[in-house]
Amino acid sequence: MKRLLAIVTLLSIGFGASCTAQPSAAYLAKRDAFVVGLMKKMTLDEKLGQLNLVVGGEATTGSSVSTDVETKIKAGKIGGIFSISTPSRIRKTQELAVNQSRLKIPMIFGMDVIHGYKTLFPIPLGISSSWDMGLIEKMARISAIEASADGICWTFSPMVDIARDPRWGRIAEGSGEDPYLGSQIARAMVKGYQGKSYAETNTIMACVKHFALYGAAEAGRDYHTTDMSKVRMYNEYLPPYKAALDAGAGSIMASFNDIDGIPATANNWLLTDLLRRQWKFKGMVVSDYTGITEMVNHGLGDVQTVAAKALMAGNDMDMVSESFVNTLGKSLKEQKVTQAQIDLACRRVLEMKYDLGLFTDPFRFCDENRAKTEIFTAEHRAEARKAAGKSFVLLKNDKQTLPLAKNGTIALIGPLADNKENMAGTWSVSGDFTKCVSVEEGIKNVAGNVTILKARGANIYSDARLDANVSIFGKPTNRDPRSDADMIAEAVATAQKADVIVAALGEAAEMTGEASSRSDISIPENQRDLLKALVKTGKPVVLVLFTGRPLALPWENENLPAILNVWFGGTEAGNAIADVLFGDVNPSGKLSATFPRNVGQIPIYYSHKNTGRPYGGNGTDFQKFQSNYLDVPNSPLYPFGYGLSYTSFEYSELTLSKKTLAMAVPKDVVNVSVTVKNTGNFDGEEVVQLYIRDKVRSITPPVKELKGFQKIMLKKGESKTVSFALSVEDLKFYNSALNFVAEPGEFVVFVGTNSQNVKEAMFTLNK
Ligand code: BGC
């Protein structure tokens, strides 16, 4: 046994493939020699063992959990484990594999490190609203440093599913509705996790998920069917997955949903034709949690059949269902799968382990000292605070209600005012929620002279059953037994003694995330009743809105002077909220997903098509035989890209460097420039957004598509000219034949502060 490890070490010297560039031929040859050599020694059962990914027990997201893990590791029946942590625990578990299994093959250790590890950052939908790629990369880098210091080498992130249905709870885990913004973020996250090279022990492998289209679940109900045209897939839903893979992501997760009637997990077109043949992906494919055996429920056959289908379609690893390890041997005997298919999957798992350097040192992520010094550091928390502040979106601010003065009396009201555990948001499995900063603590830290008067005001839900549904995973909502009326009366009495009311309301953390869909996306009624009573006091009401999804807020928008959307900000949420409330930080977040007026408008997104009967009214009147509703305007409440600042920005008209772009001229560009001036009383950041519209093309064009953005800092009174270089590449789309083409003709270019408020100009694309 010792000899094998020695051989392993010798052959694998030079591990540490570059995570971003294509590995060198020499590296690949060495890896190949090693993996082929190892596979020659492996029995069928040992090969199947490598395909088996089990859950360690710190977090489970399905009804099944893995059993007899220790015995199976020793028998070589497990290739990897997720959801266990700490160097000592991982070392002990790894020792079982490398000391007690026949071939001593190390295991990989995964975890859902989604928006931070111990230092928690804002939920992904929140951080995407920063439109700050440097910041997002930094979040992923810090996540990787902390996770790897705690023994983990693989994260199930980034989640890049485009989502246009806020009923779907997992919209919280992604970057919103837009493929361009989503692709930039996907890239930044992969770069952050994987760093420059796996040779560094503080890099972890990314796993892009959920491939594919998971965000398009019908009716916003989790795990539900998806069905869409290929043209839509290629243009609108696939780009972020592709961007993440192009950035070097080492693995990808198949999604639960079906596509064209075949679940992604068994979808040969998706996992082989598209992923391997068209996109040339060389890394590892893992199923989602029991995604393979769930295909029995989908109606694709018994466990043996669906496992064979999953392997043949292109899955390499089976997460939790153990159907590969339990049935593929039989399927091989019965010639339902081939040895070559099993070998290919095994090979990809071994290559991944080789790339991560585990054959050279299976314990390279087990450094107690790093665990003590690199996790939850003051520096990481400072970054998390900064990130949270930049993720908040100021939805309304009449008469400069915000920022607040750092003196006087504040009535701090609401179930989320002094709650620590809900600050982290969904999918924060590794965090210690009791270490999160509450809003009350934040206000005390930032504005010590302010007098705070507190009242509960409301529970999250009036209905105790609904409250219990979301008071889970260590995130209690601390239900108050009093009646709604009693709590409101107390809150009103408290508010009357204050200068201003800060109402910390909205969703509890677990009202979004996996299997947390809602059919009503408003603030629960009892909370709105509280707001109504608070408004009646005549005191200014600032709504500090917690949410993991776009909410329908027509009443709030109509009746409250100030709304600050703070998502779920993570460990430092309370401090960051206070930073913004009291003006130490000027909000600069912009929505990455449209906020509808009501559920009936869903799906609603800015890049919709024009239709043959576009609405041409004044925005509120009804127009018969045009594409509109009888009872609600077409427009959203808050559009994509929207977010206010304490200051104001003025945009000049656009200047184009020329009026034509030529496909025949290599690298031809048209420069679009705009001058933005800070005309208000605060220094502030602005996200300058560029959209295009292809006026005529062979398939119907969206009315607008984001093609560029820049986040700039402007001191008060300062102006800056921002330029975007538009090339032919930016004008391309997938046509009916799924070819990526640009078509000559006129284009409108729009630049502005959000997807609706823009300046425009025209140019022509020539052959
Ligand atoms: C989720 C994945 C997650 C996996 C492992 C599944 O239920 O869909 O996003 O990575 O569990 O925890």
pLDDT digits (tens, 9 = 90+) for 96-130: 999 999 999 999 999 999 999 999 999 999 999 99
Cα 382 to averaged position of ligand 1 atoms, centre (Å):
29
Question: How close is the Cα of 54 to the center of ligand 1, in Å?
Answer: 12
Residue 250 within any structural domain of the chain: no
* Ligand 1: centre distance to CA 262 (Å): 20
- 488, 414 Cβ separation under 8 angstroms: no
Q: Is residue 715 part of a domain?
A: yes
Q: Which of 150, 165, 288, 355 is catalytic?
A: 288
Q: Are 493 and 547 part of one and the same domain?
A: yes
Instruction: Clarify whether residues 327 and 461 are in a common domain.
Output: no
Q: Are residues 537 and 673 in the same domain?
A: no
Q: List the CATH number of the domain containing 756.
A: 2.60.40.10
Q: Is 209 in the pocket of ligand 1 (CB under 6 A)?
A: yes
Within a domain: residue 177?
no
* Counted domains in the chain: 3
Does 161 participate in catalysis according to the annotation? no
Eight-class DSSP state of 70? H
Residues 281 and 409 in one domain: no
Whether 121 is in a domain gets the answer no
Q: Is residue 9 part of a domain?
A: no
Contacts of 180 (CB under 8 A, 6+ apart): 239, 705, 706, 707
**Residue tagged 């002990």 (tokens):** 92
Mark whether 287 and 397 lie in a shared domain.
Answer: no
Within a domain: 198: no
Instruction: Please indicate whether residue 156, judged by its CB atom, sits closer than 6 Å to ligand 1.
Output: yes
Cis? peptide before 23, omega within 30° of 0: no
Q: Are residues 429 and 563 in the same domain?
A: yes
The low-confidence residues of the chain, meaning pLDDT below 50, are: 1-15, 58-60
**To test ligand 1's pocket by mutation, which of 85, 514, 516, 517 has the most ligand atoms within 8 angstroms of CB?**
514
In a domain, 414, yes or no: yes
Ligand 1 atom at minimum distance from 59 CA: 12
> In the numeric block, which tokens belong to residue 477?
């909502």
The reply to whether ligand 1 has any atom less than 6 angstroms from the CB of 170 is no
What 3-state DSSP class applies to 658?
coil
Q: Are residues 510 and 446 in the same domain?
A: yes
Cis-peptide into 97, omega within 30 deg: no
Question: Is the entire prediction scored with pTM above 0.95?
Answer: yes
Query: Using CA positions, which residue lies closest to atom 10 of ligand 1?
Result: 156
Is the CB of 374 within 6 Å of ligand 1? no
Q: Evaluate: CB of 289 within 6 angstroms of ligand 1.
A: yes
* Structural domain ending residue among the three candidates 282, 316, 337: 337
> Do 465 and 391 share a domain, yes or no?
yes
The sheet carrying 251-254 orders its strands as 284-286, 251-254, 205-211, 154-155, 108-111, 80-82, 52-55, 318-319
Domain co-membership, 404 together with 474: yes
| Residue where one domain finishes, among candidates 559, 594, 629 | 594
* Per-residue burial over 255-281, b = 16 or more CB atoms within 10 Å of its CB, e = otherwise: bbbbbeebbbbbbebbbbebbeeeeeb
State both tokens at 453.
């008067």
Residues 404 and 305 in one domain: no
Give the type of residue at 738.
Answer: L
The alpha carbon of 9 and the centre of ligand 1 are apart by a number of angstroms equal to 33
pLDDT score recorded for residue 22: 80
755 domain residue, yes or no: yes
Nearest CA to ligand 1 atom 8: 288
Residue nearest to atom 5 of ligand 1 (CA): 289
* pLDDT given for residue 2 in this prediction: 36
The last residue of a domain, from among 320, 337, 354: 337
What are the structure tokens assigned to 345, written together?
């999957």
**One domain for residues 535 and 434:** yes
Residue-level pLDDT at 128 = 99
Nearest to 638 by CA among 492, 756, 513: 756
Ligand 1: residue of 63, 114, 154, 156 to mutate (most ligand atoms within 8 A of CB) is 156
Supply the pLDDT for residue 412. Answer: 98
Task: Examine the domain organization and report whether 270 and 412 are in the same domain.
Answer: no
The CATH number covering residue 426 comes to: 3.40.50.1700
Supply the range of the domain harboring residue 506: 378-594
